[in-house]
Chain A
Amino acid sequence: MRAFLCAALLILISTQAAFAITSPRERLDDPVLAARAEIIAKDIRCVVCQNQSIADSDSEIALGLRTLIAVQLKEGKSNDEIITYIHDRYGDFILMKPPVKPATWALWFGPALIFLLGLFAASRMMKRKPSAKTTGGHA
């Protein structure tokens, strides 16, 4: 009984991450194209979701974008051409990894900068003599 429950649970968990194919519109019979479609879809953000790629989302927009990818793959376009096409229309936010450029510097380097500031502050505070706290009092 316990083994059966474990197996059922494992199946339940493992199916959660399945690639979301929800419509015949986006179906690609050629396995090579289907594999490329999945690679592209993993790089494209679902713009109405919370940090999901369109490969993981069931939303209408994700379905529309996957269909667009399928159509363009059948037309013989390269992965880069398709990503550029979508990037031109939706802007940097559509890419799961936005390009590094002056407008996105805060996004890429901001966290590291805040971490370094914190590290600097922490090291300064730890270097202080413990006795300073008791004798110095509040200014």
Chain B
Amino acid sequence: MMKKYALYILPALFAALLIAAAATVLMRGDDPSVVKTNTHITAPAIGIKGPAIVNFFASWCVPCEAEHPTITALAAQIDTYGINYMDSQEKADAFFARLGNPYKEVFYDTEGQMGVEWGLVGVPTTFIIDSNNMIVYRQDAPLTPAQVESDILPLLEELR
């Protein structure tokens, strides 16, 4: 009888294992759907010098608008460049007129070709590059103030 029950418990054990694996990353505060990929490769050359932040955004991207105050606060601390993705200069200008332009310089990627070179999946995506223009941090989601406090400011301190 004992053996039979052991057999029935196997799928439950397996499920518990999967849940535990997913739960540990969630409890830690990471988003397991975000895969950190192209860190520690050299950033595509766009004529900037690190340490710096490179933020892909678009005027049609609502999460970018939500992220805008966070980027504005960061831009006061480090060179922050914007890449306007699949958009146009006029629409970006209207976006800046409404919310302000936090960027040191803005690049225009109207066809999404720069995006592919950076390994972009969607906007907003933020990269941090070090003084050798190596990508040391990447986030495929809006930055939050809490995250800036816990992860990004300490990282910027290291890069200085």
Contacts and interface: CB of A to CB of B under 8 A. Distances in A.
A and B are partners in one complex rather than unrelated chains: yes
A68 interface: yes
Given A48-B121, A121-B10, A64 B115 contact: yes
A25 B111 contact: yes
Given A117-B14, A121-B10, A93 B35 contact: yes
A67 interface: yes
Assign chain A's interface to a size class: 20 to 34
Interface string A59-98: 0110111011000000000000000001011110100000
B112 A61 contact: yes
B24 to A, nearest CB: 15
Interface of A: 25, 47-48, 60-61, 63-65, 67-68, 86, 88-91, 93, 114, 117, 121, 124-125, 128, 139
Interface of B: 1, 3-4, 7, 10-11, 14, 35, 37-38, 41, 86, 111-113, 115-122
Contacts of B86: 60
B7 A89 contact: no
Given A64-B111, A90-B119, A121-B10, 11 more contacts: A60-B86, A61-B112, A61-B116, A63-B112, A64-B115, A67-B111, A67-B113, A90-B37, A117-B10, A117-B14, A124-B4
Contacts of A63: 112
Contact of B116 (A65, A93, A121, A139): A65
A139 B11 CA distance: 20
Nearest to A67: B113
Contact of A64 (B35, B37, B113): B113
B37 A91 contact: yes
A39 to B, nearest CB: 19
Given A67-B116, A93-B35, A124-B7, A48 B41 contact: no
B37 A68 contact: no
A139 B35 contact: no
Given A117-B14, A124-B7, A88 B115 contact: no
A27 to B, nearest CB: 14
Nearest to B35: A91
Contacts of A47: 121
A14 to B, nearest CB: 31
Nearest to A121: B7
B115 A89 contact: no
23 contacts: A48-B122, A60-B86, A61-B120, A61-B121, A64-B111, A64-B112, A64-B113, A64-B115, A64-B116, A67-B111, A68-B117, A86-B119, A89-B41, A89-B116, A89-B118, A90-B119, A91-B38, A114-B14, A117-B10, A117-B11, A124-B3, A124-B4, A128-B4
